[in-house]
């Protein structure tokens, strides 16, 4: 019949599969690409192997072969019914003398032949069609799951003569388009999340920098300086390195503000910040503690080295072109210096306090000086 094994063997199916191969190349979702982007495979969205759905061989659709058309089956059934009815009538009329039991047996045999013919031509094909529909639905459910581990091309393993072949092709194309859309959406989501994360880190770093930076001088503000100075002090203790602090204050800064205006005072602070940053190494710190009070921390430096740096900073600031031709004097710088090992500072706060004490001595002795903590009298006068 239409479901015979003549065209249902492996060879016939393999031929059908090969015939579909070239046509399917245009629809296969093996990979989807974007210009300048990596290739996204079908397995990119699949979970680990241990969670994938096991696909049973019965759901591969390779047994769905062409069936006899309904019109042909109806014609054969009608012709067979006429033939059986005619033969039965002829048999009964030819032997009228036969017993009633014989006639009944002839009629029952004809009815059985008609029933068998109906079963073969109607019931069996209908059952097979229902089985084919169930198989196709099961295959679609498996392939529509993100945990699938087989290609959509298994939907095309149906002979073109089968009534479900066009539907299988349509479902195949829809699944391919849906899968590509899902991969594109996944790729876009990853790109968006990466960009959002990148921008978030960038903005966070910017906010952290702004929250710890003085807007006028570009140096660390009090909060940022205290945090980094404490870390640097602990590092110097751990590594056995010295740590020198230079406390700096502008001489007659108030006079500059009163005579030349606060804009000129802000300019002086900006220039001081530029000078300080120009003299720092990567391991050093500089901050504005408030007003015209500045501080420099030199990692691994002795107090004498720090005094040379302080004198160089004061000289660069006092000779800056912005201080020329003013109706008042351009501020000078006074400095106080203390070192962790030399002056026995146990804490960062203690070291900073000793540098402030040395700065006070510079101010008291006439300003424009760099004084090391513990000196009997400041001997270094800044030009």
Provide the H-helix boundaries in the chain.
Answer: 10-24, 70-94, 100-118, 124-144, 165-211, 222-239, 253-260, 262-278, 303-318, 348-364
Please identify which of the residues 132, 159, 292, 361 carries the catalytic annotation.
292
Partners of 40 in the β-ladder? 32
CA–CA gap between residue 295 and residue 219 (Å, rounded): 10
44 assigned to active site: no
237 token code pair: 């203790």
Collapsing DSSP to helix, strand or coil, 122 comes out as: helix
Burial 79-115 (b: 16+ CB within 10 A, else e): ebbeebeeebeebbeeeeeeeeeebeebeeebeebbe
Q: Region of 374 please: left (phi>0), alpha (psi -120 to 50) or beta.
A: left
Q: Single out the residue of 379, 336, 378, 329 nearest to residue 357, CA to CA.
A: 336
Report the sign of the C-alpha dihedral through residues 32, 38, 41, 43, in that order: negative
Residue carrying the six token digits 């802000």: 266
Residue 214: HSE in the Cβ half-sphere, 13 Å Cα cutoff: 26
Q: What angle do CA 143, 24, 168 make, to 5 degrees?
A: 45
Residue 294 is inside which H or E element, if any? strand 293-299
Assess contact for 286 and 269: CB atoms under 8 A: no
Please give the C-alpha separations between residue 360 and each of 221, 251, 336, 354, 377, in angstroms, as whole numbers.
22, 12, 7, 10, 12
Q: Of 268, 271, 239, 272, which Cα lies nearest the Cα of 256?
A: 268
Residues annotated as part of the active site: 292
């Amino acid at each position: 019949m239409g479901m015979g094994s003549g065209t249902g063997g492996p060879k016939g199916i393999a031929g059908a599969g090969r015939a579909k191969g070239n046509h399917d190349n245009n629809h296969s979702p093996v990979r989807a690409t974007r210009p300048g982007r990596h290739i996204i495979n079908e397995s990119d969205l699949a979970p680990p192997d241990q969670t994938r759905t096991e696909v049973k061989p019965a759901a591969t659709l390779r047994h769905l072969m062409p069936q006899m058309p309904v019109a042909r089956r109806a014609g054969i059934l009608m012709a067979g019914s006429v033939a059986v009815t005619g033969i039965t009538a002829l048999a009964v009329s030819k032997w009228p003398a036969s017993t009633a039991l014989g006639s009944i047996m002839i009629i029952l045999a004809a009815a059985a032949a008609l029933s068998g013919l109906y079963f073969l031509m109607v019931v069996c094909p209908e059952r097979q069609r229902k089985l084919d529909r169930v198989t196709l639905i099961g295959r679609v459910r498996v392939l529509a799951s993100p945990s699938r581990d087989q290609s959509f091309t298994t939907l095309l393993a149906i002979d073109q003569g089968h009534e479900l072949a066009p539907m299988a092709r349509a479902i195949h194309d829809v699944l391919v388009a849906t899968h590509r859309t899902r991969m594109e959406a996944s790729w876009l989501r990853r790109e968006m999340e990466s960009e959002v994360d990148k921008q978030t880190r960038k903005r966070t770093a910017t906010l952290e920098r702004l929250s710890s930076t003085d807007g006028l001088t570009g140096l660390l503000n009090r909060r940022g300086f205290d945090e980094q100075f404490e870390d640097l002090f602990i590092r110097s203790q751990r590594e056995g390195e010295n740590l020198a602090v230079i406390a700096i204050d502008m001489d007659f800064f108030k006079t500059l503000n009163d005579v030349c205006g606060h804009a000129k005072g802000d300019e002086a602070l900006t220039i001081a910040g530029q000078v300080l940053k120009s003299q720092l190494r990567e391991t050093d710190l500089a901050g504005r503690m408030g007003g015209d009070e500045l501080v420099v921390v030199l990692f691994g430096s002795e107090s004498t080295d720090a005094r040379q740096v302080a004198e160089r900073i004061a000289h660069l600031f006092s000779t800056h072109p912005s201080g020329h031709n003013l109706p008042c004097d351009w501020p000078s710088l006074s400095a106080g210096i203390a070192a962790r090992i030399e002056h026995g500072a146990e804490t960062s706060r203690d070291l900073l306090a000793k540098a402030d004490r040395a700065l006070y001595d510079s101010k008291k002795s006439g300003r424009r000086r760099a004084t090391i903590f513990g000196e009997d009298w400041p001997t270094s006068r800044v030009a």
